[in-house]
Chains A and B, each alone.
Chain A
Amino acid sequence: GAVVSQHPSRVICKSGTSVKIECRSLDFQATTMFWYRQFPKQSLMLMATSNEGSKATYEQGVEKDKFLINHASLTLSTLTVTSAHPEDSSFYICSAKTGGEFYEQYFGPGTRLTVT
């Protein structure tokens, strides 16, 4: 099956710094990638949808200047959390899908971000 990787798997950073998370589709070209965050014991919350070569579409309530998303190629999308604060600590998960609306999303293993 399709494989999606995320890096890093865990990161601890100090308040005020920026953190970049990479999401890669390893064996397929992902026309669309999604970024989710998940708080403990809660479901996935979609943050933004990114299509290769175009600007990301952010969900309501998600600050685009704080969560910078770049989808520069068909196999790589990055999420940068700028000026991180403790409340940004969460589990961030990316997913990718090939073209076609009915295709399943393939999830990366997630990144645990802790801001101290």
Chain B
Amino acid sequence: GQNIDQPTEMTATEGAIVQINCTYQTSGFNGLFWYQQHAGEAPTFLSYNVLDGLEEKGRFSSFLSRSKGYSYLLLKELQMKDSASYLCAVTDSNYQLIWGAGTKLIIKP
């Protein structure tokens, strides 16, 4: 079956760095997305990785290792507004998006 695992909840301190991991087992792979979702709102796109390596975009970076079925989202200089759920999603061989359950990130002052 297809499966995406990410931690349910994480807590970090304002100004610090946090890494949210995502492991996946899917039938085929055509890219991995990270989305941010605030409570009661729709997801917003953060990053897309299809090749191995690190993609940096401002305070957010995303890493992918296809051989390990592994990705992480790195958030630097955390701000209170970064408190949200972070969703990992993988596009499989049928180009269908498979969603993880999301990681709720709590930022403390």
List residues of chain A with CB under 8 Å of any chain B CB: 34, 41-46, 91, 93, 101-102, 104-110, 112
CA distance A43 to B45 in the complex (A): 15
CB pair A93–B42 under 8 Å, yes or no, is yes
Chain B residues within an 8 Å CB radius of A93:
42-43
12 contacts between A and B (CB under 8 A): A41-B104, A43-B101, A44-B99, A46-B97, A46-B99, A101-B91, A102-B30, A102-B31, A102-B91, A107-B44, A109-B41, A112-B40
Instruction: Answer yes or no: B50 CB below 8 A from chain A CBs.
Output: yes
List residues of chain B with CB under 8 Å of any chain A CB: 30-31, 33, 40-45, 48, 50, 87, 91, 95-97, 99-102, 104
CA distance A91 to B42 in the complex (A): 9
Chain A residues within an 8 Å CB radius of B101:
42-43
Chain B residues within an 8 Å CB radius of A41:
104
**Residue on A nearest B8 in the bound complex, by CB:** A41
Given contacts A102-B30, A107-B44, 11 further A-B contacts (CB under 8 A): A43-B102, A44-B99, A45-B99, A46-B99, A101-B30, A101-B95, A102-B48, A102-B50, A105-B45, A105-B97, A107-B42
